[in-house]
């Protein structure tokens, strides 16, 4: 027999005219206090971010298609891809939470300048665009159309767009080296 804890959670402030949503969470973790119940709810709330992270790792970075023979190389590749997946998830989250930050907080000069050049956006006196604008530029390279009702770009358009931005920035670096 397995002991489980059932925790019933209810939405505190549902939309006007709507019934509150309820969740029944089942866990093997024992819950005896209100603080422990709140902690379990926080775990549950983070679960979706974890799901997105592993989707980026699996579908975006394609870690399941790695064909490396040595354990050390597999671990090194997965470690690198985890950083990439984290960056994409971080960009998605930060872009929603802090859209007015300058994009230079998370993008190198070569990255944002290259993206602006290719997207034919005017760079004003080396001032980086806002994070929101840059994310939309990057996502546009990944297929995001940006229509009125499209909402915020998702991780998939960002991972595709970031690959292209990396290539654009690399091309600019190569051009600089050729000019020397």
Residue 2's pLDDT is 85
The 3-state secondary structure of the chain reads CCCCEEEEEECCCCCCCCCCCEEEEEECCCCCCHHHHHHHHHHHHHHHHHHHHHHHHHHHCCHHHCCCCCHHHHHHHHHHHHHHHHHHHHHHHHHHHCCCCEHHHCCCHHHHHHHHHHCCCCCECCECCEHHHHHHHHHHHCCCCCCCCCCCCCHHHHHHHHHHHHHHHHHHHHHHHHHC
Residue 112's pLDDT is 93
Residue 81's pLDDT is 94
Residue 126's pLDDT is 81
Average pLDDT over residues 17-26: 91
Let me know if residue 116 belongs to a domain: yes
Residue 165's pLDDT is 95
- 107, 134 in Cβ contact below 8 A? yes
- Split at pLDDT 50, 70, 90, the class of 176 is confident
Let me know if residue 36 belongs to a domain: no
Residue 45's pLDDT is 85
- 116, 104 in Cβ contact below 8 A? no
Query: Does 85 have pLDDT greater than 90?
Result: yes
Let me know if residue 136 belongs to a domain: yes
Q: What is the mean pLDDT of the chain?
A: 91
Let me know if residue 26 belongs to a domain: no
Let me know if residue 43 belongs to a domain: no
Let me know if residue 48 belongs to a domain: no
Q: What is the pLDDT of residues 92-143, one digit of tens each?
A: 999 999 999 999 999 998 899 999 999 987 777 788 999 999 999 999 999 9
Q: What is the pLDDT of residues 29-45, one digit of tens each?
A: 999 999 999 999 888 88
Let me know if residue 50 belongs to a domain: no
Domain that holds residue 140: 101-180
Total tally of structural domains belonging to the chain: 1
Let me know if residue 6 belongs to a domain: no
């Amino acid at each position: 027999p397995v002991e489980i804890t059932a925790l019933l959670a209810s939405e505190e402030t549902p939309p006007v005219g709507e019934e509150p949503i309820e969740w029944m969470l089942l866990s093997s973790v024992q819950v005896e206090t209100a603080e422990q119940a709140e902690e379990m709810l926080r775990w549950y709330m983070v679960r979706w971010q974890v799901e997105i992270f592993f989707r980026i790792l699996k579908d975006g970075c394609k870690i399941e298609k790695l064909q490396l023979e040595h354990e050390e190389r597999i671990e090194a590749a997965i470690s690198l891809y985890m950083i990439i997946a984290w960056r994409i998830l971080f960009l998605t989250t930060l872009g929603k939470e802090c859209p007015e930050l300058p994009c230079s907080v998370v993008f190198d000069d070569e990255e944002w300048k290259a993206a602006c050049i290719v997207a034919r956006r005017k760079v004003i006196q080396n001032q980086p665009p806002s994070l929101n604008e840059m994310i939309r530029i990057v996502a546009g390279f990944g297929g995001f159309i940006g229509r009125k009702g499209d909402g915020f770009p998702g991780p998939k358009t960002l991972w595709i767009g970031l690959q292209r931005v990396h290539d654009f920035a690399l091309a600019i670096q190569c051009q600089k080296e050729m000019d020397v």
